[in-house]
Amino acid sequence: MEATKLWVRENCDLEGVRGVVASVGMERVVGVRAVPYVLLALAAVTLLVKFVRDNQARAKTWLQGRRPSPDLEKPTDLNTFVEKRMKPTERPPGTWTPSDFKRPKAPPYPDWSVTDTPPLPYRPFRHGPYHITMGLRTMQWDNWIELDNHYLRYHADKARRIASRGARCCHTDPDPRVRDAAVELLEELAAYLSERYPAMFAATPVGVDNTVTRERFDVRAHALTVNGVQEDPMQLCARLVQDDLAIMFEREDGQYYLLAGAVLLAGFWRLEDKLGMPLSEIHTSGNVPGYKAKLEKGMVNFFRRVKPEAAVQRNNYFMQVDDELAWSSSIGSEDATAGVGWATADQDRVIAKHFFRSERQSLRRLPRSGGVVFTIRTYFEPVTGIAAEAGVPGRLASAVRSWGGDVARYKGRERYGGVLLEYLDGKHAEQVREGLVVEGEGGGEGGKGYPW
């Protein structure tokens, strides 16, 4: 009893509670002698509340540990990112001195499962106005490569396209420096995946085994095989992950060129069209809106300055009016030599044919070779699916309406805008009626901050 009274004095402000008891006349009801027992009862309630809150906090921490959320750092304008966070470099163009940087060892992804871990819900759009920007943010090394329960579908799609299209989708330039970079990337992937996803990947003396697909990878430069069959190193990289991959290299003219890649699920562009191109031509040939005016200078400086220890990531999104992950046939044949684009797509297809395509890209410099690696992970979902999420229909409709003319043409809004916006407006109105969101700009965020 005395110990309990001492705890009450230290944690419950005994005199303060006595004052409350006296102020409400409780002493008259229970008597002065009963007040300590009332206080003990209050102490018991306090302990119970503390116990429940502690358990809730522990449960919240555990749940967060199971599925890491996307990095919530605010995306930054490219020029601002370069000027504020990246120091100039004095090395001559086209040269690279190997760095001793080692990627931090990745902890195992908690409770990851090839059948049960869902894709992360990237929703990289906001209420207008739309601004042309790279939207860079710092990447945490633990999250370099993201795998989920769509892995086996992506793996099968890649294997099918490797068999049917081969070098048109996967290529490594014969330059020894380029080949070394492709092998370096393969080595990095083998090490990272066995650390981050031990439920599926196991390190071996010569590389890594995929214990689910039963593929054995020998990543040594003189071998480069999967199940004993030799392949292009970029093709081997493609078989390991859900991402498309590209490596760019600086030449003596200071420009970066696309010289190695494994691009199998890009949807709207073909590796064979871009191989050998410098960075600026890749974007201008694809009619990327605002590239020359708003992005080119920042991108040139970014590639020049990026260091092995400073990886970044960004997100973008598109609409697609067919359900084909690898190549969007609605814009034309993948084998066409001309006339491919939104201008040839069917107009106003039913909403069930509308798909939301989001890319999560990471950029890092390889420390040994100096090549700059893109990973391009595509998330692909029906619009009817994401529109069931609180706040998404209103926010997406506002974003689509905010596109300027050049962005709208680039993203093909003319071909699907009428059907898409009518559907999103209807779903948003439903959510307002149900109290899931509040009407008005900014009110449809569904409790989540932009852009996720």
Identify the pLDDT of residue 29.
Answer: 43
Rounded distance between C-alpha atoms, residue 4 and residue 103, angstroms: 53
For the ranges 84-88, 294-298, 309-313, which has the lowest average pLDDT?
84-88
DSSP string, 376-405: EEEEEEEHHHHTTSTTHHHHHHHHHHH--H
Give residue-wise pLDDT tens across range 362-393.
999 999 999 999 999 999 999 999 999 999 99
Identify the pLDDT of residue 292.
Answer: 83
Identify the pLDDT of residue 67.
Answer: 46
For the ranges 60-64, 187-191, 201-205, 379-383, which has the lowest average pLDDT?
60-64
Give the residue with greater pLDDT, 72 vs 192.
Answer: 192
Rounded distance between C-alpha atoms, residue 236 and residue 206, angstroms: 14
Query: pTM for the whole thing?
Result: 0.80
Rounded distance between C-alpha atoms, residue 213 and residue 204, angstroms: 16
Tokens of 363: 């950029």
Of the candidates 238, 235, 274, the residue with the CA atom closest to the CA atom of residue 258:
274
Give the residue with greater pLDDT, 288 vs 243.
Answer: 243
Residue 271 backbone class (left: φ over 0; alpha: ψ -120 to 50; beta: rest): alpha
Rounded distance between C-alpha atoms, residue 277 and residue 256, angstroms: 8
Strand partners, 210: 201, 215
